Structure 1
Amino acid sequence: MTAFDHLIVAPIVIPAVTAAVALLVMRRRRRLGAALSLAGCVAGLLAAVALLVTASDDAIRVYAIGGWRAPFGIVLVLDRLSAAMLVLASLLGTIVMAHAVITAADRKGWHFHPLFQFQLLGLNGAFLTGDLFNLFVFFEVLLIASYGLMLHGQGAARLKAGVAYVVVNIVGSAIFLVALGLLYGLTGTLNMADMGVRIAMLPSGDGGLARIAGLLLTAVFALKAALVPLHLWLPRTYAATMPVVAALFAIMTKVGVYAMIRVVPLVFGATTGEAAWVPSPWLAPAAIVTALLGFGGVLSGRGLRESAAFAVLGSTGSLLLVLAAWTPAATAAALFYLINATLAGAALFLVADVAMRRRGQYGDAIVPTPRFAGQDAVGLLYLATCIAAIGLPPLSGFIGKLLMLRATVDAPAQPAIWATILGTTLIGVVGFARSGSAIFWKPADGGAGLVSAERSRADLTAPAAALGAIVLLTVFAGPVSDWTAATARQVFAADRYVAAVLSSEAGR
């Protein structure tokens, strides 16, 4: 094993080290601690890009922690899917961290930077692990960090929403452990590759129990993805927390989606008998309701943060609706849309933060106000971000929705899928047009311009960077869609994953 082969652990080691160093430095040299935290995000992004380039050869690489090969030891697995998610999380983390430092949002509490880094550690670990128990562990790491981040800046509303958020996720974690206990009792392993093989070999009498365990597991992932009826925690949590934190949380629902894409074809695929495709009967109906409820919330939202939270919910419903077909084409389209939805959702929160800072006492309320500093620039950013979030041309959201429509043209539920995607797009247009016109283009009756609390243009940097990433996704939509198609084919070639992880040479 060469030194470069150890790069696979970098997305986990870098935030872990950065969190510890930032915690030690912050008390005496706050600016240095913030700079080190931002540098850690950049280093993690560079490592993720290097791993993405490495994974482009279509090989599946396995790193055995401590030299103990699977299924006896803990393994990290790098393939196209995990590499793409690492780049997305690292890019988002870098943009959000830059915004927190520029706007001094990180100074609302002492432990923002360590918690932020541990959040990235949990995300990256969840994307890399090849073991279900360690998926649970990394889920807990990112959740514990998110508890602290959610309360960053304090406030009664934030505390109330935080308590509900913690309780819901504790229940989800308990269900996760029950599912893991059932699966381990049935198969004697928690390695995902090994578990898929053993479930396929279960006697017919155990098939029903395996199906129950699979349903519990996918219910946990649905909770993380905020799928109806397990969605109630998301709108309140995301609308109550600081926008810079909510921007990072935009990827948390996608962790639940990632877990479904990783686990279902591998552990509950077509060869597993009674346990095959366990989420299929209920995933599509729940996704339809989620999409409708999400974009309906955009239409009825009373604040920019609330509308952004419902947009995240609606986008998750849309991509899960297409993913429910469980075909390589549908999965490829959903992955492309996932990238756009994550970036657009984060950008909505960042623009909302800028608007709140500049509108003074009006905050993010969707009401007409006198002109504020930089209103035209912020309004244009908001317009472009809404176009991406809704899925209108010419940005990548439109391309993603076209790909999803094309991928489901022969699906049995094609009329329902198309009606939901097109109908929610129309609802989103009306909803964002309402909020944009009220805040940026409809002047208040009388009154002088507001004395803005923020006049510097520096706070536009991170929202512009997020929008720039969306523009790049649009420009390079062809290569990215080719990548997601190859990723989907690799995901559904479960035998390749199993062979790579369980090979006697894996990780040596």
Structure 2
Amino acid sequence: MNHWLIAPIVIPLLGGIVQTFMGYAPISLRRTLAIATTVLILVSSLILVSLANDGSYRIYAFGNWQPPFGIVLVLDRLAALMLVMTSVLALFAHLFSIGGADEGNRQFHTLFLFQLMGLNIAFLTGDLFNLFVAFEVLLIASYGLLMHGGGTVRTVPGLHYVVLNLVGSAIFLIAVGMIYSVTGTLNMADLAVKIPQVTGESRNLVEAGAMMLLVVFALKAALLPLCFWLPKAYAKATAPVSALFAVMTKVGVYAIIRIYVLMFGDDAGQLANLGMDWLFPLALITLAMGVIGALGADNLKTLIAWQVIISVGTLLAPVALGSEKGLSAAMFYLVSTTWTVAGLFLVAELVSSQRGSAGDRIITAPKMRHRTFLSVLFMMGAVAAAGLPPLSGFFGKVLILKSVESGPQMAWLWSVLLIGSFLSLIAYSRAGSIVFWRTVDGHLESPQPLKGTVSVSAGALIALTVVIVALAGPITEYTDATAAQLFDASAYTEILQTRMVGEDN
């Protein structure tokens, strides 16, 4: 059954290659094959989450090279959760794109599938260097997707995005080299064993490399002060690209969880909990900065882009606490906020298509078509994003608040999160009331009719906030088990003793 581990990588790889050679094929055929590929990715992810649910680790070693010498993929609960979350999001974003957003670039579907491949490699890899490779694959694809649609409006934000990520990649490579020079390995399980044994000047080199990695992951996650590139880049991208990018910052969050819990957790000796003292205050400041940005947003997509930054701060604060409860709560919130933000990006595009030249700007305009439908979707997304009952964002934030023990950290987290949620509600209320209800007399300039695929895609992602509430019990059980598995580093290191590829674990 271990061969299933390569499915989420091989499927988008083959699908992307096929799309590369179909640039001049009828767009209906390209769309059909692209959606079919995304559905297969989702099916393979669901199979993997069912396998991971028994709590064991599964590995796939390429070329039969045993770890720590070969390239390995590792499946556990966290990897499976990220795969399912991403594939569900990708399916609805991809469906939205065939409503017309994929036109103008013959390789849109190629880039979309290669982006998924890079994301899936990042979630499954058990090797630090291959995590770097995964970052490069998904970033190269994201460069093309960000520029999709043309126009100078995307040039400057796209340039900032490219330059910053190239700098981050260079730092990543240097940090990996520093760690390898001391430990002689980049296999994560092997590093978890060897890092506690490092002493003297070598320990300083590993510590420096680890802190450089934290900077890189903070850049990917858009943690303050490395977050200011995100609002313009996400706001200017096409809607399905912005929706898919909702999971991009979560890759940085995932990398922090994976590496700093496994390799620099409580068992890492003198390097235990490295960087966590910095992570907690930075997460709270990031949350506060995201709220300020949301209050000052002048269009819906910028408001939602700042919500991405708010969610990053909200996620990393409990992660920095270093407890199983905090990590479990963060993972519950991670699923909720990722789908909610992606759905809001799609809703913002639908709103823009119905308001003529006003677009998604937060200004008064003539009454739009389908106002009731779109306002309900926006309200549900806003309620979930702000953390109000009865939708999933509320339960995620409650779990985060309950995860912190009494003390100064509790006071800071409760204060910042609750005040931030209230101010976020004000930002969404202001935007919704102006866009949907404060209309002026006049006629719209040929508003576009809503297509079935785009309406269903946006509505489905927003509706997932209700589905998460309905399944809150099973999801919480899964995240609790995932957190317990992550904090048991010794179980992860046992994959080094796996003898043959495909052997049952």
Which interval holds the TM-score relative to the shorter structure? over 0.9
Residues in 2 aligned to 1:284 and 1:223: alpha-carbon distance in whole angstroms: 16
1:210/1:411 CA distance change after superposition, 3 Å: farther
Q: Helix, strand or coil for the counterpart of 1:108?
A: coil
Given residue 169 of structure 2, which amino acid in structure 1 is its aligned partner?
A: S
1:455/1:208 CA distance change after superposition, 3 Å: closer
Residues in 1 aligned to 2:162 and 2:411: alpha-carbon distance in whole angstroms: 38
Name the structure 2 match of 1:459: 454
Name the structure 2 match of 1:38: 35
Alignment of 1:125-204 (within 5 A): 125-204=121-200
Name the structure 1 match of 2:438: 442
Q: Any idea what the Cα deviations from partners look like across 1:465-507, whole Å, max 9, x if unmatched?
A: 1012221111101110110010000011010000124433565
Q: Any idea what the Cα deviations from partners look like across 1:140-177, whole Å, max 9, x if unmatched?
A: 00000000000000111201111110000000000001
Residues in 1 aligned to 2:170 and 2:96: alpha-carbon distance in whole angstroms: 35
Name the structure 2 match of 1:303: 299
1:493 aligned to which of 472, 488, 496: 488
Q: Any idea what the Cα deviations from partners look like across 1:73-93, whole Å, max 9, x if unmatched?
A: 000000000000000010010
Residues in 2 aligned to 1:182 and 1:502: alpha-carbon distance in whole angstroms: 26
Q: Helix, strand or coil for the counterpart of 1:413?
A: helix
2:53 aligned to which of 53, 56, 71: 56
Name the structure 1 match of 2:120: 124
Q: Helix, strand or coil for the counterpart of 1:63?
A: strand
Residues in 1 aligned to 2:496 and 2:298: alpha-carbon distance in whole angstroms: 49
> Unmatched 5+ residue regions in structure 2?
none
Structure 1 residue 28, shift from structure 2 partner: 2.1
Name the structure 2 match of 1:481: 476
Name the structure 1 match of 2:396: 400
Name the structure 1 match of 2:318: 322
Given residue 193 of structure 2, which amino acid in structure 1 is its aligned partner?
A: V
Name the structure 2 match of 1:256: 252
Q: Any idea what the Cα deviations from partners look like across 1:441-461, whole Å, max 9, x if unmatched?
A: 1122x2235531234454311
2:109 aligned to which of 106, 113, 116: 113
Contact 1:208 1:274 (8 Å CA) reproduced: no
Residues 1:388 and 2:392 aligned together: no
Moved more, 402-411 or 488-497: 402-411
Residues in 1 aligned to 2:5 and 2:444: alpha-carbon distance in whole angstroms: 53
> Unmatched 5+ residue regions in structure 1?
none
Residues in 1 aligned to 2:11 and 2:159: alpha-carbon distance in whole angstroms: 30
Residues in 2 aligned to 1:279 and 1:488: alpha-carbon distance in whole angstroms: 19
Given residue 7 of structure 1, which amino acid in structure 2 is its aligned partner?
A: W
Residues in 2 aligned to 1:416 and 1:200: alpha-carbon distance in whole angstroms: 32
Alignment of 1:164-313 (within 5 A): 164-313=160-309
* TM-score of the aligned structures, taking structure 2 as reference length: 0.98
Moved more, 264-273 or 310-319: 264-273
1:77/1:458 CA distance change after superposition, 3 Å: closer
2:409 aligned to which of 404, 413, 421: 413
Structure 1 residue 178, shift from structure 2 partner: 0.9
Residues in 2 aligned to 1:501 and 1:361: alpha-carbon distance in whole angstroms: 60
Residues in 1 aligned to 2:103 and 2:394: alpha-carbon distance in whole angstroms: 37
Structure 1 residue 233, shift from structure 2 partner: 1.1
1:455/1:88 CA distance change after superposition, 3 Å: closer
Structure 1 residue 194, shift from structure 2 partner: 0.3
1:41/1:228 CA distance change after superposition, 3 Å: same
2:352 aligned to which of 356, 373, 376: 356
Percent identity for Structure 1 against Structure 2:
42
Residues in 2 aligned to 1:321 and 1:470: alpha-carbon distance in whole angstroms: 22
Residues in 2 aligned to 1:299 and 1:231: alpha-carbon distance in whole angstroms: 16
Name the structure 2 match of 1:99: 96
* TM-score of the aligned structures, taking structure 1 as reference length: 0.97
Contact 2:129 2:186 (8 Å CA) reproduced: yes
Q: Helix, strand or coil for the counterpart of 1:392?
A: coil
Given residue 75 of structure 2, which amino acid in structure 1 is its aligned partner?
A: L
1:347 aligned to which of 338, 343, 347: 343
Residues in 2 aligned to 1:135 and 1:271: alpha-carbon distance in whole angstroms: 23
Name the structure 1 match of 2:7: 10
Q: Helix, strand or coil for the counterpart of 2:102?
A: helix
Residues in 1 aligned to 2:252 and 2:462: alpha-carbon distance in whole angstroms: 24
Residues in 2 aligned to 1:66 and 1:251: alpha-carbon distance in whole angstroms: 31
Q: Helix, strand or coil for the counterpart of 1:260?
A: helix
Q: Any idea what the Cα deviations from partners look like across 1:375-408, whole Å, max 9, x if unmatched?
A: 1100110000111111110001000000000001
Structure 1 residue 322, shift from structure 2 partner: 1.3
Residues in 2 aligned to 1:397 and 1:327: alpha-carbon distance in whole angstroms: 21
Q: Helix, strand or coil for the counterpart of 1:421?
A: helix
1:455/1:467 CA distance change after superposition, 3 Å: closer
Residues in 2 aligned to 1:411 and 1:251: alpha-carbon distance in whole angstroms: 32
Name the structure 1 match of 2:421: 425
1:336 aligned to which of 329, 332, 339: 332
Given residue 462 of structure 2, which amino acid in structure 1 is its aligned partner?
A: L
Contact 1:395 1:474 (8 Å CA) reproduced: yes
Contact 1:18 1:37 (8 Å CA) reproduced: yes
Moved more, 371-380 or 118-127: 371-380
Name the structure 2 match of 1:28: 25
Residues in 2 aligned to 1:493 and 1:411: alpha-carbon distance in whole angstroms: 26
Contact 1:26 1:32 (8 Å CA) reproduced: no
CA RMSD of aligned residues (A): 1.2
Q: Any idea what the Cα deviations from partners look like across 1:204-230, whole Å, max 9, x if unmatched?
A: 342222211111111111110000011
Contact 1:373 1:455 (8 Å CA) reproduced: no
Residues in 1 aligned to 2:318 and 2:56: alpha-carbon distance in whole angstroms: 27
Moved more, 431-440 or 402-411: 402-411
Given residue 498 of structure 1, which amino acid in structure 2 is its aligned partner?
A: T
Contact 1:119 1:141 (8 Å CA) reproduced: yes
Q: Helix, strand or coil for the counterpart of 1:62?
A: strand
Q: Helix, strand or coil for the counterpart of 2:449?
A: coil
Q: Helix, strand or coil for the counterpart of 1:107?
A: coil
Contact 2:355 2:444 (8 Å CA) reproduced: no
Residues in 2 aligned to 1:393 and 1:107: alpha-carbon distance in whole angstroms: 39
Residues in 1 aligned to 2:380 and 2:402: alpha-carbon distance in whole angstroms: 25
Contact 2:97 2:454 (8 Å CA) reproduced: no
Contact 1:150 1:245 (8 Å CA) reproduced: yes
1:189/1:449 CA distance change after superposition, 3 Å: same
1:77 aligned to which of 74, 95, 98: 74
